[in-house]
Amino acid sequence: MHPERYRLLRQGLPGEGPVLYWMSRDQRTRDNWALLFAQERALQTKAPLQVVFCLVPEFLQANRRHYAFMLQGLREVERALAAKAIPFQLLPGEPAEVLPRYMQQIRAGCLVADFDPLQIKRLWKSRVAEGIEVPFYEVDAHNIVPCWAASPKQEYGAYTLRPKIQRRLFEFLEDFPPLKKHPGHYLEGTGGTDWAAALKPLPQAGELLPAATRPGEKAAAQVLGRFIETGLAAYDHSRNDPLQDGQSRLSPYLHFGQISAQRVAWEVQRAAGPVDSKKAFLEELIVRRELSDNFCFYNPRYDRVEGFPDWAKKTLDQHRKDPRDYLYRFDQWERGATHDDLWNAAQQEMVRTGKMHGYLRMYWAKKILEWTAAPEEALETAIALNDRYELDGRDPNGYAGIAWSLGGVHDRPWGERKVFGKIRYMSYNGCKGKFDVKAYISRHLA
Ligand code: FAD
Ligand code: FO1
């Protein structure tokens, strides 16, 4: 395994007990560098291997639709691990409380976690590290070029990160070794997780999604296969049209780690198809996505106006007093009850389906800035709606996407105008020039 794929979070005296993989961001058995690293260590020390998932009842405004999708995926993980004689343990509760105790119980010899730049995850890890004695590793199983290997600092934009990623891609973009059946293991009578009981303490509010988006590793692989078959060739020119089904629809699976971005990149670059479409897709999947992790990893204020670049904070301050043409309360935004039918249609698409087309997400966020009294309130509103309704929400891509839209992160200053200052503006007429707005509205506005 590439030595830069993992790092030691905490020294410690390795014990003889099982190597424990604390699964969190990368919820899959195939193509999972954290799981492969844990198995490598277990085989070296002839130790058992176990996987644990700490299930918290609240996670960044997640509700029933997100937990249902995630738990379905985890059931599949449990079954796939059992086929490799690797026990899976669901641990309800806060990681700092339940994990050190569980590790005592099973006398774990070493802890392995997957990488996640979000503040909440870094807090979890630092608290767990205080409560254990054994070595604690972190493996970047989410990015192709590990976040810390791609760049040692926050990048200005795709144009500064791209060359750094391209320089090292050949080192890291490789096929995966298979996960082995773990020797010396038998799943003595573990009847598996009581998944119905696991659902009980979780949020019951919020309606479930239409069954169209099926969760889990198998479903994710099918979505990838279908995209390569039917969507990739036209990706370059259809991805910005919300009326065509031109995007891959992979983001919920990437968010929950039910598919590896490296697997997606590996299959796409080997697939037949026009080079410019493959290039355009890999730019989003690799550069844009890794840029989001870079932003959240090196900028702890990724979900605050303080996290915007100085030029953006300055220009927004200069226009704080500009009169807003409209002002909406949170419940009006949430219900899609503004004067703008395009905005309302996009909001309703998201509430109903758990997804909004990438092009409209920019317009959607920018209008919240335009028709809210202050940037802080706009940011809070956009994050709350994105994290409550988007299936792929609560993700570095979301914080970076919203910070790009409202605060010029990874963007540059544009022509000055009211409210926005030099933040890039998007207009209803601009959308009309891109796609058939009327058709989109009639399709999504109830
Ligand atoms: P495709 O176009 O098929 O792209 C494939 C993959 O590339 C995506 O799944 C994603 O992982 C990555 N990608 C594509 N575009 C971007 C981008 N602009 N930035 C980072 N990665 C990208 N993405 C999320 O995963 N979760 C979010 O909560 C989220 N919120 C956003 C909010 C705003 C305001 C904006 C402007 C963008 C947001 N994005 C978010 C990024 C992007 O819109 C989605 O990743 C994309 O629309 C998901 O659909 P897809 O998988 O079909 O995309
Ligand atoms: N990760 C966990 O380790 N435990 C959880 O209970 C958990 C709940 C959860 C709910 C919704 C959601 O979108 C993500 C959730 N995650 C959870 C985190 C997820 O696995 C990702 O790591 C991050 O959201 C993306 O960085």
Residue 271: CATH number of its domain: 1.25.40.80
Pairing of strands 136-139, 19-22: unpaired
Q: How far is the CA of 244 from the centre of ligand 1 (A)?
A: 16
Same domain, 271 and 328: no
Same domain, 267 and 245: yes
Pairing of strands 88-92, 110-114: unpaired
Ligand 1 atom with least separation from CA of 402: 34
Question: For residue 207, is it within any domain?
Answer: no
User: In this structure, which ligand is nearest to the CA of 99?
Assistant: 2
CATH of residue 430's domain is 1.10.579.10
pLDDT of residue 265: 98
User: Which residue range is the domain that position 385 belongs to?
Assistant: 305-444
Claim: this prediction has a pTM higher than 0.85: yes
Same domain, 111 and 36: yes
Same domain, 128 and 165: no
d(CA 366, CA 348): 17
Is 156 a pocket residue for ligand 2 (Cβ < 6 Å)?
no
Same domain, 89 and 138: yes
pLDDT of residue 204: 84
CA 378 to chain centre: 22
Ligand 2 atom with least separation from CA of 255: 25
Ligand 1 atom with least separation from CA of 249: 52
Q: Read off the amino acid at residue 209.
A: L
Domain boundary residue, one of 264, 298, 332? 298
Question: For residue 155, is it within any domain?
Answer: yes
Q: Look at ligand 1, atom 43, and give the residue with the nearest C-alpha.
A: 358
Ligand 2 atom with least separation from CA of 62: 11
Q: How far is the CA of 112 from the centre of ligand 2 (A)?
A: 17
Is 401 a pocket residue for ligand 1 (Cβ < 6 Å)?
yes
**Which of 368, 383, 397 most suits a substitution to test ligand 1, by most atoms within 8 Å of the C-beta?**
397
Is 257 a pocket residue for ligand 1 (Cβ < 6 Å)?
no
Is 293 a pocket residue for ligand 2 (Cβ < 6 Å)?
no
DSSP 8-state symbol, 441 = H
Q: Look at ligand 1, atom 48, and give the residue with the nearest C-alpha.
A: 251
Is 15 a pocket residue for ligand 1 (Cβ < 6 Å)?
no
Is 362 a pocket residue for ligand 1 (Cβ < 6 Å)?
yes
DSSP string of 189-250? S-----HHHHHTTS---SPPPPTTS--SHHHHHHHHHHIIIIIGGGHHHHTT-TTS--S---
d(CA 381, CA 362): 14
Q: What is the residue-level pLDDT of the chain in tens, covering all 446 positions?
A: 999 999 999 999 988 899 999 999 999 999 999 999 999 999 999 999 999 999 999 999 899 999 999 999 999 999 999 999 999 999 999 999 999 999 999 999 999 999 999 999 999 999 999 999 999 999 999 999 999 999 999 999 999 999 999 999 999 999 999 999 999 765 554 568 999 899 888 888 877 787 778 999 999 999 999 999 999 999 998 888 999 989 999 999 999 999 999 999 999 999 999 999 999 999 999 999 999 999 999 999 999 999 999 999 999 999 999 999 999 999 999 999 999 999 999 999 999 999 999 999 999 999 999 999 999 999 999 999 999 999 999 999 999 999 999 999 999 999 999 999 999 999 999 999 999 999 999 999 87
Question: For residue 415, is it within any domain?
Answer: yes
Q: Look at ligand 2, atom 6, and give the residue with the nearest C-alpha.
A: 55
Ligand 2 atom with least separation from CA of 396: 26
Same domain, 105 and 36: yes
**Which of 224, 239, 251 most suits a substitution to test ligand 1, by most atoms within 8 Å of the C-beta?**
251
Q: Report the number of distinct structural domains present in the chain.
A: 3
Same domain, 44 and 155: no
Is 372 a pocket residue for ligand 1 (Cβ < 6 Å)?
no
d(CA 123, CA 226): 38
**Which of 284, 295, 387, 390 most suits a substitution to test ligand 1, by most atoms within 8 Å of the C-beta?**
284
Run of H or E including 307: none
Is 355 a pocket residue for ligand 1 (Cβ < 6 Å)?
no
Q: Look at ligand 1, atom 46, and give the residue with the nearest C-alpha.
A: 358
Neighbours of 392 (CB within 10 A): 20
Question: For residue 194, is it within any domain?
Answer: no
pLDDT of residue 416: 97
Same domain, 14 and 42: yes
Is 298 a pocket residue for ligand 2 (Cβ < 6 Å)?
no
Ligand 1 atom with least separation from CA of 239: 2
Same domain, 152 and 39: no
In which order are the strands placed within the sheet that holds 136-139? 6-10, 136-139, 110-114, 19-22, 49-55, 88-92
pLDDT of residue 190: 59
Is 395 a pocket residue for ligand 1 (Cβ < 6 Å)?
yes
Is 179 a pocket residue for ligand 2 (Cβ < 6 Å)?
no
Ligand 1 atom with least separation from CA of 250: 51
Is 288 a pocket residue for ligand 2 (Cβ < 6 Å)?
no
Question: For residue 366, is it within any domain?
Answer: yes
DSSP 8-state symbol, 412 = -
pLDDT of residue 296: 98
Question: For residue 210, is it within any domain?
Answer: no
Question: For residue 358, is it within any domain?
Answer: yes
Question: For residue 206, is it within any domain?
Answer: no
